[in-house]
């Protein structure tokens, strides 16, 4: 699915391979690469026409992608492989130009453009493979904690942070490919995100239902923020200096204020939000909801924005932005729209309701005992 970042309009639905897992945008050539796990392929999509220009076949299940902006290459690793393999794709020709053998069960790969190094975390043998981005040579294999699950690049110090799921630690690896610190965190760290403004790295603690802030200078825990739900992914909003958390089991996204290290608000999204994506150009965050097969668009300054065809449902937390049309989900029954003073302004029915005659502002939808806040914007 291709979504216009400015208008939230669905521009195209592109049929790719079976079980798409990850996407990487390549500005040189305006291409999008999509890894298809069960399809054992990588689809290459033209960023202008949204058409597939080629499909690169592989003989293995595929997982994550990383883009090397220095050499204009895309890297894709296999899923659950023993050994793990990283495939190097030349973006100019879309040809596989190299294969790098890494550790067992490669889990995630990241590129540091400052050093032109690739880092691949291998869960099966608790290692981190360091790859030269220019030559594809292995520079080092670093032993980290048990089951490394996530990576984060600190470009200020040219360090990589490694979340070790099974032993509940975060390893810090420097440019000499040595572990210079190991930080103990709460149970099962599952995701990492860097806040360069406050020089912090945030760690999602899956089973502890919390997010830990680590001071990058001291390599110590600076704060623990209770989210109240299992956290699968993190995303940083530079404009607002906030962290967004994907709370899969709760069907919500929490917004953490990095200045106070507290939860500002929690937004109800689709079922089982698993991954988050950032759009800094339009100041939006996207929540990929694996349980409902939907994407929720969050306007970082206002709350949840509707996608074409989206419906309001009881239980939403935070503001939902609607442009002239308020849609009620089937099964909601009759409802009322009220202004900030509590005065009823119009009745609503299931389906689309034209409210373009009302002034822009904040209103409340009430259906039975359920109430949710709506921002009308024309």
The pLDDT value recorded for residue 8 is 57
Is pLDDT of 267 > 90? no
Using left for φ > 0, alpha for ψ between -120 and 50, and beta otherwise, residue 264 falls in alpha
- Per the CB < 8 A criterion, the answer to whether 108 and 75 are in contact is no
Contact 133, 117 (CB under 8 A): yes
DSSP 310: -
| Residue range 345-359: mean pLDDT, rounded | 83
Mean pLDDT, residues 7-36 taken together = 85
In whole angstroms, what is the distance from residue 40 CA to residue 235 CA? 28
pLDDT tens digits along 251-265: 999 999 999 999 988
Tell which wins on pLDDT, 192 or 289.
192
Q: What is the pLDDT of residue 371?
A: 63
In the chain, the largest separation of any two C-alpha atoms, in whole Å, equals 69
Q: Are 91 and 109 in contact (CB under 8 A)?
A: no
Tell whether the model's pLDDT for residue 315 goes beyond 60: no
Backbone phi and psi for residue 218, each to the nearest 5 degrees, phi listed first: -100, -15
- Assigned token pair, 108: 């995630």
Read off the pLDDT of residues 62-96 as tens digits, 9 standing for 90 and up. Answer: 999 999 999 999 999 999 888 999 999 999 999 99
- Residue 336 CA to chain centroid, in angstroms? 35
Burial environment of residue 324 by CB neighbours within 10 A (0 to 12, 13 to 18, 19 or more): middle
For the chain, the domains span 322-376
Is the pLDDT at 41 greater than 70, yes or no? Answer: yes
First-last CA distance in the chain: 26
Instruction: Encode pLDDT of 353-369 as tens digits.
Output: 888 888 877 777 877 65
For 284, counting Cβ atoms within 10 Å of its Cβ (0-12 exposed, 13-18 middle, 19+ buried), the class is buried
State the DSSP code for 23.
E
Q: Residue 7 pLDDT more than 90?
A: no
Q: How far apart are CA 22 and CA 293, in angstroms?
A: 15
Q: Which residues of 207-227 are buried (b: 16+ CB within 10 A; e: fewer)?
A: ebbbbbbbebeebebbbebeb
| Digit-coded pLDDT (tens) for 160-173 | 999 999 999 999 99
Q: What is the pLDDT of residue 54?
A: 96
Indicate the average pLDDT of the chain.
Answer: 87
pLDDT on residue 309: 43
Report the alpha-carbon distance of residue 107 to residue 2 in Å, rounded: 26
Q: Is the pLDDT of residue 1 over 60?
A: yes
Q: Which range in 72-81, 298-307, 340-349, 363-372 is most confidently predicted, on average pLDDT?
A: 72-81
Q: How far is CA 152 from CA 28, 117, 140, 223, 358, in A?
A: 24, 13, 18, 18, 46
- What is the per-residue pLDDT across 147-161, written as a single tens digit (0 to 9) for each? 999 999 998 899 999
* Total number of residues shown for the chain: 378
pLDDT (tens digit per residue) in 185-213: 988 999 999 999 999 999 999 889 999 99
């Amino acid at each position: 699915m291709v979504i216009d970042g400015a208008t939230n309009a669905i521009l195209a639905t592109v049929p790719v391979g079976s079980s798409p897992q990850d996407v990487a945008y390549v500005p040189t050539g305006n291409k999008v690469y999509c890894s298809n796990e069960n399809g054992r392929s990588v689809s290459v999509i033209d960023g202008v026409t949204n058409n597939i220009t080629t499909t690169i076949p592989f003989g293995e299940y595929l997982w994550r992608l990383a883009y090397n902006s220095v050499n204009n290459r895309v890297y894709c690793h296999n899923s659950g492989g023993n050994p793990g393999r990283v495939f190097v794709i030349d973006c100019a020709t879309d040809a596989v130009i190299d294969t790098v053998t890494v550790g067992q069960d490669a889990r995630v790969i990241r590129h540091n453009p400052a050093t032109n190094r690739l880092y691949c975390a291998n869960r099966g043998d608790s290692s981190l493979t360091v790859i030269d981005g220019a030559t594809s040579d292995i520079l080092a294999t670093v032993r980290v904690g048990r089951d490394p699950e996530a990576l984060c690049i600190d470009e200020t110090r040219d360090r990589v942070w490694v979340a070790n799921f099974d032993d509940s630690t975060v390893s810090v690896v420097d440019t000499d490919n040595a572990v210079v610190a190991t930080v103990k965190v709460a149970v099962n760290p599952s995701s990492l995100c860097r806040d360069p403004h406050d020089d912090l790295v945030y760690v999602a603690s899956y089973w502890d239902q919390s997010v830990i802030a680590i001071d990058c200078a001291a390599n110590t825990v600076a704060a623990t923020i209770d989210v109240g739900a299992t956290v699968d992914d993190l995303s940083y909003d530079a404009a607002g200096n906030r962290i967004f958390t994907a709370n899969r089991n709760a069907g919500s996204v929490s917004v953490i204020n990095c200045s106070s290290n507290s939860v500002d608000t929690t937004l109800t999204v689709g079922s089982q939000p698993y991954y988050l994506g950032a759009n800094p150009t339009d100041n939006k965050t996207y929540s990929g909801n694996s349980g409902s097969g939907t994407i929720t668009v969050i306007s970082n300054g206002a709350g949840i924005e509707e996608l074409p065809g989206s419906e309001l449902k009881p239980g939403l937390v935070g503001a939902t932005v609607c442009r002239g049309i308020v849609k009620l989900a089937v099964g909601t029954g009759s409802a009322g729209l009220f202004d900030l003073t509590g005065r009823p302004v119009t009745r609503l029915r299931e389906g689309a309701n034209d409210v373009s005659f009302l002034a822009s502002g904040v209103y409340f939808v009430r259906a039975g005992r359920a109430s949710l806040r709506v921002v009308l914007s024309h």
